Amino acid sequence: MRGLRVSEALGSGFSCNGNNVAYLTGSSTPLNGYGLDKKELFKIPFQARPGPSISTSYTSSMGFTIQSAILPRAYPHLLFKGILTYGWPGGYWFFHGILDKIKLAMGFKATQAVALLALGHDESDGKIMLEKGTNKISFIPPRDPLLPRKIKVFQKLTQKLGGVLFMSKYRSTAVHLLGGCNASSSGPSHGVCNPKGQVFDPLATVHPGLYVCDASLIPCSIGINPSFTIATAAEHISRHLVQDVLEYKIRREGTNYLGGVQDPDSFTEKTKTIDNGRRSVVTFKETMRGHVGGMPCTAFLKMKMNPHGEDQKDSDIEWNLGTNIHGNSHPLLRGKVGGHVEFRGFEKDNLHIIDGDVNLCEVDSRTPYTHYMRYHLHLVASTGSRYILEGRKIMNPYLLASYAWREATTLHVTFEKVAEKSSKDQDHDKVILKGELSISMMELLKSLVSFEGNKKGKFLSLLLGTLFRTYLLQVPRGSQEHFNLSDCEQKYSYPSSTLHDIKTEDGVVISCRQWKCQQSLSKLRGSHEQRNPILLVNGYAVESYWLPTEPNDLVRTLIEEGHETWLLQSRLHVLNPSNTFTLEDVGRFDIPVAINKMLELLGPNVKVHVVAHCVGGLAIHIALMGGHVSASHIASLSCTNSSMFFKLNALSTVKMRLPLLPISMLILGNNKTLPLVETSTSPPVSSRHRLLKLIAHLIPRYERCSCSECEVVSGIFGNAFWHENISPTVHQWLNKESSTRLPMAAFPHLRKICNSGFIVDSNGSNSYLIHPQRMALPTLYISGGRPLLVTPQTSFLAHKYMKLHQPGFRHERVVVEGFGHSDLLIGEESCEKVFPHILSHIRSANGDEQQGRNVHINVAEGKKVFSDSEADQYQYEEGFGIITWFSPFVVLLLAFLLVSQLARLFL
């Protein structure tokens, strides 16, 4: 019931070997069956105390055997001489038992009694089962057709010997239990094991490595004492077990254990290897408590590190503080997990760990600076339900070791129910809960005390070494893998596009890339509907929509949906970098001229769906609320991690409030474009640029990267994405080919917006939020549920603003769990978790427009859209990408000290 698939015959075919037990006492005939009194018994060492001894055996022609046995002490007084028994002859047997008990207790007499045992053949149809409702064992004894004859024989012996006969009321008291895991040559329908003792798997053949080799194999009563029969069966099973083990060894290691005599030296060497492996096992216990899905949960874990006895194959130099040159963790830091989990809010009984793995030093090539501790547990309940608990401790070299204790003791947990294979609706049965478990200081001390194994010193040194390397040395374990990007681009051929160069009113040349829909209308779903074109507005100098190395991006998705797609490459883009501009210029000049170009080519009555990201979202709101673009030309607006508001996390806020940006602009001088990649065609990097890059490397960020370009951008901006969410090819393409330059002229205006928390003009005045009437259009605001740069409060405030000032339009807000900032659009799973929300919003806006009416929010099935009350949960304490115990004053003080040291170093 706890997860092992076995035959339904388990527990059936139970036999008591025809046993019946009686007790004869008070005989006037010398029985010569003297036991030991209490004092004599306790004087004998426990391991030397005698057990029951059979003294006489008689086989009757009626089909059973009667044996007499001497008990070392008449311990079952109440069992055989009390309420649970009946006596013969009737009349005074109960009082006889009481008086005999008193005499024995007072030492007036020694024990002179014999136990009578009947052995025969029952029907072997007993059952021993576990009741699901009560969790109690239910036993149905086998039928014994010879029971009346056995009782008569017991009574005749009592008549001849004298005394009183006591028998159990249950009649089938047995000392020889057989069956329950019966062996069968006919498969799992007739037995639990095959003749080799291997346990049947009803869905396969057998469970490899699982054997039964005791009396429960024997499918029937044998009529005599079964000890030799049990031993014979065990030896038979053992021969097959050893044979199977040797064959497995041959398949695994290619060693011939069967062909001839082994070389003694070779055998000795293998024995030493096995012994060394056994000695290297380290065991300890760990208890973690917390909440999962809002319910209390406690995990009682037993760790066995290096359970397979793996040897250290690399040299000590290659094993550098817990990992080798390939990034693999030391065998002593990997192991198996047992124990159980108490999750009373979900299951009333303990969830037992039937298979568990742990790796205390796991490394992901995408985040080489980050150290993970991963737990993978397969759980099963007494109801038969199965669960998977995935846990991960995340340790980052962030602000030295400020978060070391919290990160090393906090397990981020995902608890998932495994759907039944027979279930028709597996999605309905799927349960996924999230939470955190942590180990307290007291439990950690208990865990240290529980350490066993002569390698525990090395284990602790390796574990502490990995933490030292992560937090203090900050040495990466590996680096991002490099790819031939041209091969990836050829593999995922991109639809052809047209590049339009456009001159704005202020004389700046920008560009728009146009993809026409190549599909015929008959292939499009809902071909009778008019598909409006879509304008994509990027964030700050980073491409988010057009990813040539990936099979799925937003441009491909929109084209397949049947929309003509335009990508604005404004003066923020690396192709058209401007040396003097503001974000207000993008909203005032670039976006209007791009929309006018679309209207010129597609017709004046066409409406445009706009999808904007980050500062692109700020720019489109400036364009609309500043009156530079009319909402009558916009079919819908979708913004990711941006809106007319812009709320940053604590670290980004501190960076914006400190004079880091003015100092950076002063360092840049007249050339406000920072080259990120040095190529043969680019002008040489000036000393000013090198100095700014050096400072950017020193600025703290939550995730560090082995790519220099990524480090510079994240030092200036902050981390724009979670590295584990994007593919290595996207990471390489963005840093080596796409974002080769960073135009920083708009940073002073961006700093004013960030410090204000909403869009302001270049002078810092509130010139836009005072015109909500210009936002007469449906909106969708998407935020990442795992904030890294911009918090979900950005979309929360915008959603409330639009519902308050434009209640006649559809306004939606989505928070996508697991995503940060740019990975909402460039993540590997964006096409599954983010793009459907954008497409659904566009379809809804198209439907509302064609019906000629405006509607309020109507949540489509499967969309995760928050109401105002639900959205309040995201007004949490803002931290450095995570909740922090630092006060803003402490953060500002640390930042000031850092700036002072930099100024002293370079000035």
Report the C-alpha gap between 854 and 419 in whole angstroms: 42
As a dihedral over the C-alpha atoms of residue 733, residue 736, residue 737, residue 739, rounded to 10 degrees, the angle is: 100
Residue that wins the pLDDT comparison between 243 and 894: 243
Helices of type H across 816-883: 823-826, 830-833, 835-850, 868-871
Please answer whether residues 554 and 536 qualify as being in contact, where contact means their C-beta atoms are separated by less than 8 angstroms. yes
The residue whose two tokens read 């009694």 is: 113
Per-residue confidence (pLDDT) for residue 855, from 0 to 100: 39
Element spanning 253, H or E: helix 227-253
The runs of H, that is alpha helices, within 368-483 are: 404-409, 426-429, 441-449, 456-468
User: What sign for the dihedral angle of Cα 523, 524, 526, 532?
Assistant: negative
Q: Does residue 840 surpass a pLDDT of 80? A: yes
Indicate if the pLDDT at residue 442 is higher than 60.
yes
pLDDT at residue 455 above 60?
yes
| Best-predicted range by mean pLDDT (240-244, 247-251, 257-261, 778-782) | 778-782
SS (H, E, C) 567-590: EEECCCCCCCCCCCCCHHHHHHHH
Contact between residue 358 and residue 374 where contact means Cβ atoms under 8 Å apart = yes
Residue 309 has pLDDT above 70, yes or no: no
Considering only CA atoms, which of 775, 534, 531 is closest in space to residue 631? 775
Quick check: pTM over 0.75?
no
Transcribe 452-507 into DSSP letters. Answer: BSTTHHHHHHHHHHHHHIIIII---SS-PPP--HHHHHHHTPPPP-EEEEEE-TTS
pLDDT digit string (tens) for 346-399?
888 899 999 999 999 988 889 989 999 999 999 998 877 889 999 999 998 888
How far lies 317's CA from each of 94, 312, 444, 747, in Å? 81, 12, 31, 46
658 pLDDT above the threshold of 90: no
Give me the pLDDT at residue 877, please.
35
pLDDT of residue 684: 67
User: 28-32, 340-344, 359-363: which range is least confident on average?
Assistant: 28-32
The gap from C-alpha 762 to its chain's centroid, in whole angstroms, comes to 47
Block residue for tokens 């065991």 = 283
What does the pLDDT read at residue 230? 95
* Overall size of the chain counted in residues: 907
Q: What's the rounded Cα separation, in Å, for the pair 293 and 476?
A: 34
Mean pLDDT of 153-174: 77
Can you tell me the mean pLDDT for 574-600? 92
Task: Return the pLDDT at 247.
Answer: 85
Q: Choose the weakest-confidence range: 49-63, 296-310, 696-710.
A: 49-63
Q: What is the pLDDT of residues 459-499, one digit of tens each?
A: 998 999 899 988 888 888 877 777 777 777 777 888 899 99
Beta strands 386-395 and 410-417: pairing type? antiparallel
State the Cα–Cα distance between residues 402 and 879, nearest whole angstrom: 13
* Beta-bridge partner residues of 386: 380
Residue type, 756: S
Q: Which of 101-115, 467-481, 744-758 has the highest mean pLDDT?
A: 744-758
Chain centroid to CA 218: how far? Answer: 43
Greater pLDDT, 396 or 265: 396
Give the rounded percent of residues in the chain with a pLDDT score beyond 90: 42
Q: What are phi and psi of 120, to 5 degrees?
A: -160, -145
User: Cβ of 737: how many Cβ atoms within 10 Å?
Assistant: 15
Helices marked H in 260-343 — which ranges? 264-279
Stretch (H or E) spanning 360 = strand 351-364
Tell me the mean pLDDT in the region 573-601: 92
Whether the CA torsion 10, 12, 15, 21 is positive or negative: it is positive
d(CA 642, CA 831): 20
pLDDT exceeds cutoff 70 at 591: yes
Q: How does residue 409 score in pLDDT terms, banded at 50, 70 and 90?
A: very high
